[in-house]
Structure 1
Amino acid sequence: MTAPPWLEVLDETLDACRTHGREDLALRLRRRRDRPSGGTRVAVLGFPKQGKGYLVNAVLNAPVCAVGDAPTPAVPVEIGYAAEPAATLIGRAEERIPVAVERMTGEVGARPTGSLRRVEVGVPRELLSAGLVLVDTPAIGDPRSARTAAALDVLADADAVILVSDATTALSPAELALAHHVRTWCPHVILALTKVDVCPSWRAVAEEDRTALSGAGIDARVLPVSATVRQAAAKTGDQELNARSGFPELLSWIAEQVARPAERSSALLAAVSVRAAAAELVETLRTRAEAAGKDAGVDQTTLLHRAQRKADDLRRRNTRWQNLLSDEIADLMSDAEYDLRERTRHIVEVIDETFDRGDPIKLWDEFGPWLDDTLAKAVETNYTWAAERAEWIAQAVAVSFGEQYDQPDLRLADSGSDLIGEVRQPRIERFKIGQKLFTGLRGSYGGVLMFGLITNLAGLTLLNPISLTAGAAFAAKTISDEGGMRLQRRQAVAKMTAQRHVDDVFLRFSKDCRDSIRGVQRKLRDHFTALADDLSEQLARERETIIAGSAERERRTVRLRREIERLASLHQRAGELGLLAGRAPRELPA
């Protein structure tokens, strides 16, 4: 069997798309080429809330599509003929999942996003029995959304397109852009102007739409329709009311699409697709050629001067960031040590105040855990502050080097505050009962002897009430004085022990902090030195490329021009195929 003449042109264009990295265009052409013969696919496209679902339901006189506030499927719904109503969900791996028609919308909404490719619906309608498939597409919206991509993807194998826009306002720039894109890829397009029953000014809007389409070079009829009037006519069987709905003319247009000869329709669709793909490729290549021409227009000396300026700028930046890093790290080390010293000094003041007022014997069980916890918090706070300051230094150095370069990971090593050893309780001398008795006896001896001798002159014995009372007073005073001296010694020992512990913690963690900051300095130095080396190598390679690249640029420009000429030839051949398929020149996109 002889291959149709359009197949060679389409395959050649498909190869060009792959060669130039336009796999999206290649996929569209491949789908157009591999589409089974027979049948007519009419796609219905439009923006949200334009009455697209109502229009499809009115065409079929069946509630197939979700309307109103009901959620609409995010995948195309292909509606074809079936003896009994049926619906099938088609997954990404082409798995088929039968569902009831009335549950189709809910089933589609319950599926994970991206798990479905399309939905096939069969209804017993004579309009569809001749091979017509109506494709209800997701509403057009954000150009980057999956819904918009799924809707525009239908153009790859559509024979005709019904664009839907309501009569409340004239076509927006976005709708005109959509119409232009659709007309580029599909030769048969009509604009259905919906909701004319609720818009008294629909005739003026329709005229504005015709003018806008004509001004944009888009060959598409504007057909006012009302789905509400169509449904009312279907319920009452009123033919006159049905004619006023505008749907008979729309159905007539759909019948024209179905009646087209398959071979001529395939040739025309292939010609339109080839011209659209070739035009996009030519535009891309022309942009490249113009950019190459601009680059070639800059003489080699200018490029070399530019490269030299970049090298000089790199040297200046190297000097700036190295000086900044050295200064900031020195400041950070000094500030971090001062901060830790200041925090420990406050702790030492609290230690002095605590033991000036209290007895270490009574306070130590509570004081020891407090000191350990306070030191740990001081060390942790110091490390956190140093880490934040290191991050700021990294950002400042990165900005000095160049804002487009990120800084490395500069998390400081763990402070180890949870590893601070417990402060050991000093050996505290207690004033025991036996020691108090001995001290009291020693003190009372002098009192008894002194006052006994004095009272002896008065004729009293050595041991008398006065001398015994004096001995007891002297004993109490001696015990009190000895207890006070022992308390002072205990306080001095406790202070010295606690202060020595604070000093040990300061020495250890100030050393750890300095080491961590040195590590930050090395990381930043190594990171930005490596970046500077890479940039220096890039500049050297750029200089070599500038010196040796003029001829290569010229060769690339020549190749681009030849490829543009070849694509222009394919564009022309596709136009000739379209003429052979029976279309007037104005009906083929430029």
Structure 2
Amino acid sequence: MTVPAWLEVLDETLAACRAHGRADLADRLHRRRGADPGGTRLAVLGFPKQGKGYLLNAVLNAPVCAVGDAVTPPVPTEVGYAAEPGAALVGRAHERIPVAVERLTGELGARPAGTLRRVEVGVPRELLSAGLVLIDTPPVGDPRSPRTAAALDVLADAHAVVLVSDATAPLTAAELALARHVRTWCPHVVLALTKIDVCPGWRAVAERDRTALAEAGIDAAVLPVSAVVRQAAAKTGDTALNAQSGFPALLAWIAEQAARGPEQSAALLAAVGVRAAAAELVDTLRARAEAAGQDAGTDQTTLLNRAQRRGDELRRQNLKWQNLLADEIADLSADAEYDLRERTRTIVQHIDRTFDEGDPGKVWPDFAAWLDETLAEAVETNYGWLAARAEWIAQAVAAVFGTRYERDLPDLRLDGSGAATIGDVGAPRIERFKIGQKAFTGLRGSYGGVLMFGLVTSLAGMPLINPVSIGAGAAFAAKTIHDEGGMRLQRRQAVAKAAAQRHVDDVFLRFSKESRDAIRLVQRRLRDHFTELAEELSEELTAERETIIAGSAERERRSASLRREIDRLAALHKRAGELGLRAGRVPRELSA
């Protein structure tokens, strides 16, 4: 069995819509592909309060559609032929709920929003007996409204459309936009100008509407009608009055649509749908190609020059951060040693004052505790200052690369100040002035006094040992003991000072070495971190250069692919136009 040409074009366009992510277009074409070939579907669209319901009721000579203040169904109402009047509500899962025609309005009002797909109504009218289905759509309004979406969704399988606009005013910009959209997707469109019975100037409005449609490139006749006059003529059987209503011309147009052969209708409907979908796809691809062209507006040479400038800047940054790190580490080492030296010097001064005034034998226990605590505090403070200065150096070096690198810094926490491992100061050997030593020193000093004053008093005839010589010996003994005690105190103070100062010097030497080791550790961590960062930036720059070079070829490839796809879609558009021409419609061509 030979596949119709229109079906081949439709399937190819359907595949293109899916390939380019246009599921909405693919769904419309799919519905046209699977449409029932045995009938004609005619949709009636319009904005609110334009007389759409009155128009349909007048066409059928039956109160089928809601009019006036009655609630308009939020879903399409399909009116077809039936031997007996009846209605059914079709749910989202295609379930059918039979409803009496007279109870239809109440049943619709009781249904929750979003539960219905459409309403089907059957009436015994000869106009519908050949398979014609009239579709009353919800009023068109806000593009985001579900009612508008439901109304425009009918275009996917409509063979013809009657646009409704009243004669109170010419077509608005929104109505022209709706007409343009409808004509894009539907091969046969007519504009029904309603309410001419209450608008004396309807002829001028009709002429202005014809002009506006022609200027917009919309092929649609304008048929003035009056539903009120039509219904009055139907009641009285007045043929002349019926002619004045304008409905004979509208009914003739509807009969013409229903009389078309199914194959001709299917081919024409497919051709129009393919052309509409292809035009939208071509517009999308052209916009993508233009965007790609704008992105490629900066040519490869400019991009490479920009990358070269960034490379030069990176080399300057490398030299700058290395010099900055070396200078700051040198300053930190000198400042840390000076800080520790200054703190220990202050401690030594306090040691001198303490032992210039006190006896080590009495104050040494309290002094030793104070010295250990003060040295530990000095070392901890020095380490804390060193750690804070190291963090500042890290941030200063990171700022050379940019502020965004200041947050991702290496761990510079030191293992500890080592203050807890400071040994206790050893107690010096303090010589005590014991009782026996004082007695011996006193006897030694008293000998000179007794001998000296005994000889002087012997000249006066007194014996060598007399009260005067004994008193002098006691005085000399006391002075000798006092002088010896003072000299022994000075020796103890000197020994204590020397012991304390040696301990301070030992602490300084040890922890100044640890401080220098900590600074070298900080330097190595920062050096390794920023060297790695510089290498990563250099690799990124190299990759960027390679991407720029490869991107030019890729952009050219994508551009050529887009051009080929646009040409292919334009060819489909042209083939669909030829099919439409053979089916009885001459379309406008799409420029590729």
TM-score by length of 1: 0.59
Q: In 1, are the aligned partners of 2:164 and 2:192 still within 8 Å (CA)?
A: yes
SS of residue in 2 equivalent to 1:138: coil
Q: Percent identity?
A: 79
SS of residue in 1 equivalent to 2:75: coil
- Structure 1 distance, partners of 2:82, 2:309, is 73
Bigger shift: residues 45-54 or 295-304: 295-304
Q: Give per-residue Cα distances to partners, 1:488-528, cap 9 Å, x unaligned.
A: xxxxxxxxxxxxxxxxxxxxxxxxxxxxxxxxxxxxxxxxx
Q: Give per-residue Cα distances to partners, 1:61-87, cap 9 Å, x unaligned.
A: 111111111110111100000111111
Report deviation, 1:2. Answer: 2.4
Instruction: Choose the corresponding residue for 2:585, options 580, 583, 586.
Output: 583
Q: Give per-residue Cα distances to partners, 1:420-440, cap 9 Å, x unaligned.
A: xxxxxxxxxxxxxxxxxxxxx
Q: Give per-residue Cα distances to partners, 1:47-100, cap 9 Å, x unaligned.
A: 011000110010001111111111101111000001111111111111111111
- Structure 2 distance, partners of 1:89, 1:23, is 28
For structure 1, the residue ranges without an aligned partner over 5 or more in a row are: 316-400, 403-536
Report deviation, 1:114. Answer: 1.5
Match of 2:157 in 1: 157
Report deviation, 1:306. Answer: 7.9
Match of 1:257 in 2: 257
- Structure 1 distance, partners of 2:310, 2:236, is 80
Q: In 1, are the aligned partners of 2:573 and 2:590 still within 8 Å (CA)?
A: no
Corresponding letter in the other structure for 2:146: A
Report deviation, 1:583. Answer: 2.4
Match of 2:575 in 1: 573
Match of 2:239 in 1: 239
Corresponding letter in the other structure for 1:189: V
Q: Give per-residue Cα distances to partners, 1:324-348, cap 9 Å, x unaligned.
A: xxxxxxxxxxxxxxxxxxxxxxxxx
SS of residue in 1 equivalent to 2:182: helix
Report deviation, 1:540. Answer: 10
Match of 2:442 in 1: none
- Structure 1 distance, partners of 2:102, 2:541, is 66
Structure 2 residue 119 is the aligned partner of structure 1 residue 107: no
Bigger shift: residues 241-250 or 111-120: 111-120
- Relative to structure 1, is the Cα distance of residues 296 and 167 closer, same or farther in structure 2, using a 3 angstrom cutoff? same
Corresponding letter in the other structure for 1:272: V
Instruction: Choose the corresponding residue for 2:552, options 550, 553, 557.
Output: 550
Corresponding letter in the other structure for 1:179: A
- Structure 2 distance, partners of 1:23, 1:541, is 37
Report deviation, 1:195. Answer: 0.4
Equivalent residues in 2 for 1:102-501, closer than 5 Å: 102-300=102-300, 302-303=302-303
- Relative to structure 1, is the Cα distance of residues 301 and 585 closer, same or farther in structure 2, using a 3 angstrom cutoff? closer
Report deviation, 1:547. Answer: 5.3
Report deviation, 1:299. Answer: 2.0
Report deviation, 1:219. Answer: 0.6
Q: In 2, are the aligned partners of 1:275 and 1:589 still within 8 Å (CA)?
A: no
- Relative to structure 1, is the Cα distance of residues 48 and 543 closer, same or farther in structure 2, using a 3 angstrom cutoff? farther
Q: Give per-residue Cα distances to partners, 1:2-33, cap 9 Å, x unaligned.
A: 22111000000000000000010000000001
SS of residue in 2 equivalent to 1:62: coil
Match of 2:349 in 1: none
Match of 1:36 in 2: 36
TM-score by length of 2: 0.59
Report deviation, 1:112. Answer: 1.9
Q: Give per-residue Cα distances to partners, 1:552-588, cap 9 Å, x unaligned.
A: 1111111000000000110111111112212235699
Report deviation, 1:303. Answer: 4.9
- Relative to structure 1, is the Cα distance of residues 198 and 587 closer, same or farther in structure 2, using a 3 angstrom cutoff? farther
Match of 1:3 in 2: 3
Corresponding letter in the other structure for 1:184: T
Report deviation, 1:310. Answer: 12
Report deviation, 1:106. Answer: 2.4
Report deviation, 1:265. Answer: 1.3
- Structure 1 distance, partners of 2:267, 2:591, is 15
- Structure 2 distance, partners of 1:110, 1:151, is 21
Report deviation, 1:542. Answer: 7.5
Report deviation, 1:111. Answer: 1.7
- Relative to structure 1, is the Cα distance of residues 280 and 587 closer, same or farther in structure 2, using a 3 angstrom cutoff? closer
Structure 2 residue 555 is the aligned partner of structure 1 residue 559: no
Structure label with greater radius of gyration? 2
Report deviation, 1:307. Answer: 8.9
Report deviation, 1:274. Answer: 0.6
Report deviation, 1:309. Answer: 11
- Structure 2 distance, partners of 1:100, 1:145, is 29
Report deviation, 1:300. Answer: 3.7
- Structure 1 distance, partners of 2:241, 2:309, is 78
- Relative to structure 1, is the Cα distance of residues 541 and 198 closer, same or farther in structure 2, using a 3 angstrom cutoff? farther
Corresponding letter in the other structure for 1:66: A
For structure 2, the residue ranges without an aligned partner over 5 or more in a row are: 318-402, 405-538
- Relative to structure 1, is the Cα distance of residues 297 and 587 closer, same or farther in structure 2, using a 3 angstrom cutoff? closer
SS of residue in 2 equivalent to 1:15: helix
- Structure 2 distance, partners of 1:310, 1:195, is 72
Match of 1:372 in 2: none
- Relative to structure 1, is the Cα distance of residues 297 and 61 closer, same or farther in structure 2, using a 3 angstrom cutoff? same
Bigger shift: residues 550-559 or 161-170: 550-559
- Relative to structure 1, is the Cα distance of residues 540 and 56 closer, same or farther in structure 2, using a 3 angstrom cutoff? farther
- Structure 1 distance, partners of 2:240, 2:151, is 35
- Structure 2 distance, partners of 1:2, 1:229, is 51
- Relative to structure 1, is the Cα distance of residues 545 and 144 closer, same or farther in structure 2, using a 3 angstrom cutoff? farther
- Structure 1 distance, partners of 2:165, 2:157, is 22
SS of residue in 1 equivalent to 2:36: coil
Match of 2:89 in 1: 89
- Structure 2 distance, partners of 1:252, 1:211, is 23
Q: In 1, are the aligned partners of 2:75 and 2:118 still within 8 Å (CA)?
A: yes
- Relative to structure 1, is the Cα distance of residues 279 and 307 closer, same or farther in structure 2, using a 3 angstrom cutoff? farther
Q: Give per-residue Cα distances to partners, 1:236-262, cap 9 Å, x unaligned.
A: 111111110001110010000011111
**What is the number of residues matched between the two proteins?**
371
Match of 2:464 in 1: none
- Structure 2 distance, partners of 1:306, 1:253, is 67
- Structure 1 distance, partners of 2:558, 2:168, is 52
Structure 2 residue 31 is the aligned partner of structure 1 residue 59: no
Corresponding letter in the other structure for 2:230: R
Corresponding letter in the other structure for 1:209: D
